[in-house]
Amino acid sequence: MAFFVYPMHEMRICLSARGGQNRISNDMKTYNLNRKNCLVIGGAGLLGLEIACQLQSQGANVRILDLVSPVTNGKFDISVGDIRHREDIREACRDIDVVFQTAAAVWDPKTAKRLYEEVNIGGNSKVIDTCIEQGVKRLVFTSTMDVVVDGKKPIKNGDESLGYPKKMPSDHYCRTKIIAEKMVLEANSSKLLTCALRPVGMYGPRDKYHIKNIIEAVNRGLKFKLGNGKAKFSHVYSENAAHAHILAAERLVDGGPVAGNNYFITDGCPSQNLFDFMEPFLLGLGLKPPAKRIPYPLAYILGFINEKLNPCSTFNRFSVVQTCVEHTFLSLKAERDLGYRPIVSTKEAFGKTLSWFAQEYGKKDDR
């Protein structure tokens, strides 16, 4: 597949202030990760591998626990295992100072309810218990913005004052992530300091769900956009989200503001409609973006019908709501407590992500 350069003046470019990325009080107590033993659970994934690489660049000793070994040039201590198995976690947590728990059963209509519960609830419960048992002092948990989404009301510039939905969502991913986040935050104590980060729509190299789903839908002949194009959606680049996790670990100290708290993580850029955000990637890969629109009410009805006829399809009411209902968030609390600022601009993030997808789809075309 050809790699076309999309004109950057057509994109919204948000340049991050690299020099001011850690604006935080000099007298705030922090935890130095240099030479510390860190475990990244889910370290072969989009976010987990970025965390592992950034930790290593800061002088930390990094171990990865995942179902598969990561494809990387980094030199990590690799443990192939499953968080559903206590012994795998126990072995990986041996002599560890900080755990980053990024692993999850992610949203996919083909995934059984049982797997969500075994991984997102049972697995996280085992991680918490094992951290306490092994004397691990810090646990940074990757949650999601979906823990505050009720599937009905739009969220504009949402922050941490938003509570969990009054009625537990029927979607198994959202439901189990809510339960998992609550468990992690309730476990916070002097024995185990915990916090939860809520990345918004994440993208980057190795993205298997966000951009990949749109690319594959267009390759299958997608001709329609959902909604009227007015609904906005917040995004965060994977390296920026990883940076926020490391800042959280450094500031996860007893008596500090981070312990027992949750944080939305965004790129801090103007939000865009999902299809407007995806269009430069599609054009950069030589694909034709969908042009026609299906109104939200009609799309919702069609999604309902399709999920009854084809339960494993990604076109259902959940995906329609996520596309047509505004979900934008602010990361001001993370800026205040973590000193968080994005370290990669949208221009650089676009270039890195597009280059990776061009190589991946080029490989497939060469087979």
**How do residues 101-122 score in pLDDT, each as one tens digit?**
999 998 787 889 999 999 999 9
How far is residue 47's CA from residue 144's CA, in Å, rounded to a whole number? Answer: 12
Spatial CB neighbours of 360, under 8 Å, sequence gap ≥ 6:
none
Q: What is the pLDDT of residue 366?
A: 46
Q: What is the mean pLDDT of residues 233-247?
A: 98
How far is residue 173's CA from residue 298's CA, in Å, rounded to a whole number? Answer: 25
Cβ proximity of 200 and 294 under 8 Å:
no
Does residue 51 have a pLDDT over 70? yes
User: Please, what is the Cα angle at 16 between 12 and 19, to 5 degrees?
Assistant: 160
Note if 173 is an active site residue. Answer: yes
What percent of the chain stands above pLDDT 70?
91
Q: What is the pLDDT of residue 311?
A: 85
Q: CATH number of the domain at 8-361, please?
A: 3.40.50.720
Q: What is the pLDDT of residue 17?
A: 41
Q: What is the pLDDT of residue 13?
A: 47
pLDDT tier, 314 (very low <50, low <70, confident <90, very high otherwise): confident
Nearest to 215, CA basis, from 141, 283, 132: 283
CA 27 to chain centre: 31
Cβ proximity of 51 and 102 under 8 Å:
yes
User: Please, what is the Cα angle at 56 between 363 and 78, to 5 degrees?
Assistant: 65
Spatial CB neighbours of 362, under 8 Å, sequence gap ≥ 6:
1, 3
Tell me the per-residue pLDDT of 179-214, one tens digit each, with 9 for 90 and over.
Answer: 999 999 999 999 999 999 999 999 999 998 889 888
Q: What is the mean pLDDT of residues 347-358?
A: 96
How far is residue 127's CA from residue 101's CA, in Å, rounded to a whole number? Answer: 8
pLDDT averaged over every residue in the chain: 89
For residue 215, give both structure tokens. 């690319």
- The DSSP code for 16 is -
How far is residue 211's CA from residue 207's CA, in Å, rounded to a whole number? Answer: 7
Q: pTM here?
A: 0.89
User: What distances in angstroms separate CA 148 from CA 151, 203, 219, 268, 337, one per listed residue?
Assistant: 9, 20, 32, 19, 21
Catalytic residue among 116, 173, 203, 361: 173
For residue 288, give both structure tokens. 């034709």
Question: Where exactly are the structural domains of the chain?
Answer: 8-361
3-state secondary structure of 60: coil
Cβ proximity of 316 and 109 under 8 Å:
yes
H or E segment to which residue 330 belongs: none
How far is residue 131's CA from residue 93's CA, in Å, rounded to a whole number? Answer: 7
Q: Which of 18-22, 167-171, 311-315 has the lowest mean pLDDT?
A: 18-22
Q: What is the pLDDT of residue 367?
A: 40
Q: What is the mean pLDDT of residues 331-337?
A: 97
Does residue 317 have a pLDDT over 60? yes
Helix 210-219 vs helix 274-284: crossing angle, to nearest 10: 70
How far is residue 133's CA from residue 17's CA, in Å, rounded to a whole number? Answer: 41
H or E segment to which residue 344 belongs: none
How far is residue 8's CA from residue 27's CA, in Å, rounded to a whole number? Answer: 41
Does residue 228 have a pLDDT over 70? yes
Q: What is the pLDDT of residue 222?
A: 84
Q: What is the mean pLDDT of residues 75-86?
A: 95
Cβ proximity of 35 and 367 under 8 Å:
no
pLDDT tier, 150 (very low <50, low <70, confident <90, very high otherwise): confident
Does residue 9 have a pLDDT over 50? no
